[in-house]
Structure 1
Amino acid sequence: MKVTANGISIEVEDTGADGTQAERPVVLLIMGLGMQLVAWPDQFVQGLTDAGFRVVRFDNRDIGLSQHMDHLGVPNLMWASVKHRLGWKVDSPYSLRDMAADSIGVLDALGIATAHVVGVSMGGMIAQRVALAAPGRVASLTSIMSSSGARFLPGPKPEVLRALLSRPAGTSEEAIVDHYVKLFKAIGSPGYPLDDAAMRERILRGTRRSFHPAGTMRQMTAIAADAARADELPKIRTRTLVMHGIADPLVPLACGHDTARRIPGAQLHAIPGMGHDLPPGVVERLLEPLVPHLRAA
């Protein structure tokens, strides 16, 4: 369903839409760079629902069925990367603060006063921004395979960065799927490999729903432009769980350590064999500490 959040159109899925879960505590799921709400595994959503929570997930701006921002133009990623490495100000069409305001706007549109906020990768960064902007709305914070954004933290392995910045060999559906299979294999969990057929099915589900690479590029510059967040994280007083894969080749484990170090009282849960994805085995490892964390808050 569509809602208006922060002045733009956002696509939302809510397990409490029929009213049967209206009294349950809410978990707001925020997805990562270029990924749609359908990237949240059904097993993960069902696990939270079975644990007694109402689950709300949505497409971030510029991705999926939410409002696209093509009128803002396509950024120069190489120039933005150079400026980021040098510590210069990166210009971005919109900010992670704007995307956090979208998330809060989703809660407003659904009449939800407080929620447990869970984000993966870029979604974890947005979740951190939500906790900074509206601490009274956040019952707990969970940052998964994400980062504080601090300078000089280790970055992706060179081959992973090349895969991330590459483009499909053509415009056909097969070329697009082949491209994302290579990317997801590069960042995937070595301890929980996903077979090619299941991976292609998951990618097809997303690309047939929406394919909008320009939005991903704008989101990437929003990440690079959010240079001050690391210094602000000590202001967070919300109960926080940081979960990270020990084998993450895109956002190394050191980024999770740094996030947990900066947020007072944050607990770090490192998962052996986990990379930068959410295959079935990883979902189980995530739910084990996540559900008690949510209930304790």
Structure 2
Amino acid sequence: MSKADESTVSTDVSTATASKTDDDTILSVENVSKHYGGVVALEDVSLSIKENEVLSIVGDNGAGKSTFIKLLSGVIPATSGQFYMRDEETDEMEHIVLESPSMAKRAGIETVFQDMSLSMQHDVASNVFMGREPLKDGISGKLFRRIDREYMEQRSIEALDEIGFEIDPRAITEELSGGQQQAVAVARALISDPRIVILDEPTAEVSVEGSQKILDLIEELQASGKTVIFITHNLQEVFDVADRVAVLRSGNLVAELDNDGTIDREDLVGRMTGAIQ
């Protein structure tokens, strides 16, 4: 990344460190709750997210999945609880503040929400750099604020190639398939070089072929060194790509399971519904 607006990621941190984490933990969620007056959306959730893993968050409607992701993304602040992230230089867990999307981004967390927030009438490169368009070097950029389209197109090609997609950066976004649009949204997240990528129901609006492409994309992200958190209602996708599964029910974290062949669909559904405690 050579442009100023793709600067080194910084974090909002305190000097506090997490008391107990595994060596491979990248993000620690400790006793986090979210209340809306008397309504409890999430209650006392603690979860360690491991570096370079694919973690799936599952649960029925109203289980707290969306709330949990919005907290990690800085869209809403937690009512109580703390977040810690492993510092790349010191290798220690440091307290981070996630009270706005910009804070989450500075901490190295990027989220692709279900609606993707793409501008369908614009081209691919414009969507990848939406809101952070690079300016040309020299006087044309500094004085006349001219956008560096050549850089945008080249960097878009590179970001898409990182996740296994070849898409013309000048293509109009609405003319792409659902899977390609999802790839553009992920590429937009990747240009800031995040450590954690969150995907919210990434296969919900795409074809079967597009869904497989997105599952391949998740594996590509992991292969490139990213930690991936994804939310899905499709349990087969969980078994296909997740390393671990976190089950939410009624705002509570009720299970953390390794996807090592010891769990099946009936077991997972039972934990989601409460049939298995």
**TM-score w.r.t. length of structure 2:** 0.25
Between Structure 1 and Structure 2, which shows a larger proportion of helix residues? Answer: 1
Between Structure 1 and Structure 2, which shows a larger proportion of strand residues? Answer: 2
**TM-score w.r.t. length of structure 1:** 0.24
Q: Bigger radius of gyration, 1 or 2?
A: 2
